[in-house]
Amino acid sequence: MIPEQFEDIRSYKDDEIPAAMEYFINDEASLATAKMVLPDMSDDEIKNLLRSIKTTDDFQRIMMTRFVKLIIATTMKHVDSQGFELIDKHKAYLFTGNHRDITLDAFILQMCMFENGFETCNIAFGANLIFNKTIDIFSKSNKMFKVERSQNVRELTQNSQHLSDYIRYLIRDNKSVWIAQRNGRTKDGNDKTDHGLLTMFSMSGDRKNLVPNLAELNITPVATSYEYEPCAMMKARESYIKERDGVYVKKPNEDFESVVSGIQKKKGIMNIAICPTITYDDLKQYEGADKHEIVPAIADMIDKRIYERYRLYPNNYIAYDWLSGTSTFKNYYTQEEKDKFKAYCDKIFSKLLEELGNDAEKRFTEILLGIYAIPVENHIKATK
């Protein structure tokens, strides 16, 4: 039984799933989406299938796996995964992932866990992405729990404590969790763990003994990479405008557009790598140290493990050489791959420079290429 204190953020319990499926059955937009996922079924067959779903695991097995496989089939060459031999099917983990796409990072990890015989994880999901009742019901059915955005320091403290308590409750209840290593997606290709995230983790449990406190959570980095970044154009545009104007103001529905774009854009190959868990043995050297020493050390561990196992593609090496004006990695790609990547970049340039002006070309090019090139730099540093 989930404690009442988490009613405002928790995902659905199994006994709430049948009512959620009835909502989808009676909602035209939900049925239309289901029809896209199940094109060979009649409306009545889809309704009967939805009524057969009785648990969150049923929803993921029957609907989400098909939905994710449809995305893979229509927008990717394939998905590769590694590292499942590093985790135990009988333990819970706090998967802390680099964040490249709003939804797919976690959705595809769930599918990979299911296919490797693991119980799927609970997903931390920003409240700003819950655009309507349908999304709210869908997310709760898919083991997604709400992360509230904070307006001031008092709210931040309260929300962080609440979230920390819920995550630790799930881990102690032997349920794994996925959460992004930072607030919002990586915009510049530099996957860095937010120290505030680790501080939030430590707010529950024994706050006087941070090493056992954080070791209990089984923090496990996850490295996700795409051959073609799903929203590279939108990320580069946002970064450029924010740098130019000092602030970036999102237009209405921009988050929703990013979700849709991430799902629909061609991504080539996607790779997910489970990294070694950060254990008590990794942390015991910091016994007795204060938070200001322990938190940066763990953040560095997470980052290093992600950088080491982040898969680099020819596009990454091409961008590095292009940006640096060298041929350092010329043996890692062909001329054909280079021409294809350049055509991809030119297409983005032509769209964005029409809006931003030709004066933006040099800096915008640096930002776009950096999304692909910076992971090469990080990988080199981490593996030296």
Question: What pLDDT score was predicted for residue 360?
Answer: 87
- Pairing outcome for strands 122-126 and 268-274: unpaired
Number of H helices, E strands in the chain: 17, 7
Q: What are the phi and psi torsion angles at 174 (to 5°)?
A: 65, 40
For the entire predicted model, the pTM comes to 0.94
Cα of 199 vs its chain's centroid, Å: 20
- Cβ atoms of 347 and 290 within 8 Å: the answer is no
pLDDT digits (tens, 9 = 90+) for 55-87: 999 999 999 999 999 999 999 999 999 999 999
* Nearest C-alpha neighbor of 129 from the set 106, 111, 112: 106
Contact 320, 287 (CB under 8 A): no
Sign of the C-alpha dihedral computed for residues 191, 195, 196 and 198 taken in this order: positive
Domains of the chain with CATH codes: 75-131+142-230+265-311 (3.40.1130.10), 315-383 (no CATH)
Output the pLDDT for position 188. Answer: 87
Give the whole-angstrom CA distance, residue 84 versus residue 118: 9
| pLDDT of amino acid 20 | 98
Length of the chain in residues, anyone? Answer: 384
Low-confidence stretches of the chain (pLDDT beneath 70): none
Residue-level pLDDT at 150: 78
pLDDT of residue 358: 81
Per-residue model confidence as pLDDT tens digits over 84-98: 999 999 999 999 999
pLDDT the model gives residue 187: 82
Query: At 59, which amino acid appears?
Result: F
